[in-house]
Amino acid sequence: MGDLGGLNIMAEQIIFYILAVLIAIFSVLAVTSKHIIRSATYLLFVLLGTAGLYILLGYYYLFAVQIAVYAGGVMVLFIFAILLTNRPGEKVKSERKDRRIAAGITSLAGIAFCGHIIYWNINKVYSLVVPDEQKVQEIGLNLMGTEKYQYLLPFEFISVLLLACIVGAIMIARRR
C-alpha cells in the first residue's frame, strides 16, 4: 500500500500544479484581455480553478458553494450585464501611461503585502489544516448556533448588509 500512498501524493501534487498554473495564466489573461467579455470568461476559469483547489483540499461544501455562487450566479450576472451594455464587442483602449505606472506600483505593493503575510504565516496554516471531511449538518448547526464559535449573529448582519445593498440599488435605479 505504501506504493499507492506515494502515487496518491504525487497525483495530488501534479493536479495542484496544473490548477495553480491555470489560475495564474487565466488571472493574467483576465486583466490583459482587450475584450471585456473574454475577461469575464477568463475570470470564470480562475474561479473554477479555485473550486478545483477546494476539492483537492477535501472541502466539498466550499467547492459546491464556490461553483454555485461565483461560477453559476455572479458570472452569469456579469455576462448578462456585459451583454446588456452598449457595445460589448468593442476593444477596450489602453490607459494613459502615468495611470499604467500607478496601477503597476499599486499591484506590486499588493503582491508584496500578500506575499509577506503568506510567507510569515505559511507554517501556522500548515498545522491548522484539518483534513477531516466537514459534514453539512455540522456546518448548518454552526451557522445557525448562538454559542461560542457559532455564526448566527454575523450571518444575520450580512443579510442586513445585503438588504441595504438591494434597497440602495433600487433607489439608484428609480432616480432616473
Q: Is residue 89 a contact residue for other proteins (CB under 8 A)?
A: yes
Q: Is residue 136 a contact residue for other proteins (CB under 8 A)?
A: yes
Per the CB < 8 A criterion, the answer to whether 91 and 35 are in contact is yes
The CB-side HSE value for 25 (13 A sphere, CA atoms) comes to 8
Q: Is residue 73 a contact residue for other proteins (CB under 8 A)?
A: yes
Nearest residue (CB) to other proteins, 77 versus 112: 77
Closest by CA to 60, choosing from 133, 9, 129, is 133
Q: Segment contacting other proteins (CB under 8 A): 120-128, 129-137, 141-149, 161-169?
A: 129-137
Q: Is residue 14 a contact residue for other proteins (CB under 8 A)?
A: no
Q: Taking the CB of residue 43, how many other CB atoms lie within 10 A of it? A: 21
Using CB under 8 A, pick the residue from 9, 17, 24, 38 that binds other proteins. 38
Using CB under 8 A, pick the residue from 137, 146, 147, 173 that binds other proteins. 137
Per the CB < 8 A criterion, the answer to whether 71 and 63 are in contact is no
Report residue 116 CA to chain centroid gap. 20
Q: How far is CA 140 from CA 68, 70, 137, 143, 150, in A?
A: 17, 20, 5, 5, 10
Beta carbon of residue 153, minimum distance to other proteins (angstroms, whole number): 22
Q: Which residues are near other proteins by CB under 8 A?
A: 1, 3-4, 7, 11, 35, 37-38, 41, 44, 60-61, 63-65, 67-68, 71-73, 75-76, 79-80, 83, 88-89, 133, 135-137
